[in-house]
A and B are shown apart, each in its own frame.
Chain A
């Protein structure tokens, strides 16, 4: 029996079957709706079947065609499996080439448009829609990665604190004075890992690890006159190994931070631009996802995260919080105490818009939002200038600087 081949071409117009003579043998146009066409093309490009394909194949079969040629290998496999017909892949096919060269003419011939020049607009509109759909697909569920990554950061912080405190206590048996002299866990662990016993805590060695001259002198002096006991080889080796472990975790932490930043750029560029990646990511994490956050009113966003601080205030006796974590933003915590509530309200209002834009439309308005925000806060500050007595209350900055560390307890980590 003679094999009659038809080439099936998919396009913005619809699905068209060409006979061996290169003429149209059967076709099915898409409905003239940009969104619908876009959704179909996304499926087709991914090798999925859309309803027009079986319709055209059926008509071609009725006309005696028995073999169907496609340019897209993935699509041909799907058609073969689902419609149980013989297929072949030719790429590029002569028919396909001819079609791409004269797409405008075919658009008119099939009645998709009246004039070939209208085709450009269709291609523009459909491709805009297709890419936006694909972008959305590519970023779908990525926000859940942010939630996990932020939680991983918190886990790491807790672990770092726990083990670092242990290291300080353990190594403190040997060199107790170091604890008070080095505030940052990371620096402490680095010193111990690299220098080992206190006898090697010389000015030169310490400075080599990036400690300021002044500080290094203090540490070296303390080491020379330290009251701590001796360590055996196996003791110091074990402590150093724990230090390496902590330092590795610090590295992991900064790489996770970078990862979150990149994810935020991808998933929530408006929010990220307005609030900074870290704060935005925390808001998403607390809400349990971008969509959840987008459904919250601005007033909820304003106090989001306060639950935790409230709990902390109950257990440690610290002052109860007035804002949620948006307080972390410089615009909020940097503004005059009396205006803070108002600033927080404006900020969370803009934030809500940014979040919704990220979740629903994907357009970029971050720069506009930020300019708006800054303008409103500026107006606010001009409307309520700082009252005079307040300036008298202010202490000279030097005293403030000295007050700070003693007021709070020593802060470990970053």
Chain B
């Protein structure tokens, strides 16, 4: 029953926990010990507490297990998280960036943000909840600093466009974006890549260079995670 932990070989702040069974489980160091967020298991190993990170619940965990090459979210990163819902993935991002990093969580459903505030942000000084529509970033520009990475999972059409408008305001030059895109369409005859090519094009047209596209099955059959680097920005006046 002795659990063991190992830092992930590529990603700082991500761990592998070995429980009774053989295969390792993904985990992060719990920034608010004693509390879990979505029913995930807490594991104490010598003086630290880890939260198991469920790849079936969190696309980012799925992407890591599926061989993500570069994780732009690191110790000390400032991250803008669009579509934080009640904080399943965002809380792990908060664990990874640690107390010198910061996670701005944008979510527009009052119900979800209420849970995010009460169950997660209250206990994590590095998280700021923002109740706002991510399509209108000027509504939260008074509170958000420039960020090193944007994670976008709003499950909406035109999310690439939404990501771009947030990048213009908040993403530093050569910062990174991670975007979860629906890859399966109702029309089975259409190639999955067709479905998200358009979204990827929007990123390319707006100064992003695509660095990788990670398929998430079997953890999530409907999405891919796109990682892109922000190379240039176009000023605009409205």
Contacts and interface: CB of A to CB of B under 8 A. Distances in A.
A45 B139 contact: yes
A103 B145 CA distance: 7
B10 interface: no
Contacts of B195: none
Contact of B119 (A12, A92, A364): A364
A230 interface: no
B128 A124 contact: yes
Nearest to B129: A131
A71 B141 contact: yes
Contacts of A101: 145-146, 172
A41 interface: yes
Contact of A92 (B121, B130, B132, B168): B168
Contacts of A177: none
B208 interface: no
A91 interface: yes
Interface string B144-168: 1110000000000000000000001
Contacts of B114: 135, 269, 362, 364
Interface string B95-120: 00000001010000011011101110
A120 interface: yes
A91 B236 contact: yes
Given A123-B128, A131-B130, A131-B131, A91 B143 contact: no
Contact of B131 (A88, A100, A135, A265): A135
Contact of A131 (B117, B168, B235): B117
Contact of A91 (B115, B118, B138): B138
A94 to B, nearest CB: 8
A128 B235 contact: no
A44 B140 CA distance: 10
Contacts of B143: 11-12, 41, 123, 126-127, 130
A173 interface: no
A34 interface: no
Given A12-B142, A45-B140, A92-B235, A128 B122 contact: yes
Interface string A129-153: 0111011001100000000000000
A120 B111 contact: no
A113 B192 CA distance: 51
Interface residues of A, number: 42
Contacts of B130: 127, 130-131
A44 to B, nearest CB: 6
Pick from B132, B144, B145 the residue with the most CB of A within 10 Å.
B145
A297 B197 CA distance: 60
Nearest to A97: B146
Contacts of B119: 364
B235 A73 contact: no
A266 B111 contact: yes
A76 to B, nearest CB: 10
Contacts of A382: none
Interface in A40-78: 41, 44-46, 71-74
B238 to A, nearest CB: 6
A138 B132 CA distance: 11
Interface in A88-119: 88-92, 96-97, 100-101, 103-104
Given A45-B139, A91-B169, A91-B238, A128 B145 contact: no
B170 interface: yes
A120 B142 contact: no
A128 B127 CA distance: 9
A11 B142 contact: yes
B102 to A, nearest CB: 6
Contacts of A265: 111
B125 A121 contact: yes
A355 B238 CA distance: 46
B48 interface: no
Contacts of A90: 235, 237
Interface string A343-369: 000000000000000000011100000
A363 B110 CA distance: 13
B126 interface: yes
A101 B140 CA distance: 15
Contacts of B142: 10-12, 41, 44-45
Contact of B132 (A11, A45, A73, A120): A45
A100 B144 CA distance: 7
Contact of B115 (A96, A120, A364): A364
B3 to A, nearest CB: 28
Interface of B: 102, 104, 110-111, 113-115, 117-119, 121-122, 125-132, 138-146, 168-170, 172, 235-238
18 contacts: A46-B139, A71-B138, A71-B141, A88-B237, A90-B235, A92-B169, A100-B141, A101-B146, A120-B125, A126-B143, A128-B122, A130-B131, A131-B113, A131-B129, A135-B113, A138-B131, A139-B110, A362-B114
10 closest A-B pairs (Cβ-Cβ)?
A127-B128, A100-B146, A134-B131, A131-B131, A101-B146, A131-B129, A72-B138, A138-B110, A45-B139, A10-B142
Interface of A: 10-12, 41, 44-46, 71-74, 88-92, 96-97, 100-101, 103-104, 120-121, 123-124, 126-128, 130-132, 134-135, 138-139, 265-266, 269, 362-364
Given A91-B169, A91-B238, 10 more contacts: A10-B142, A12-B142, A12-B143, A89-B238, A90-B237, A100-B170, A101-B172, A124-B127, A128-B129, A131-B131
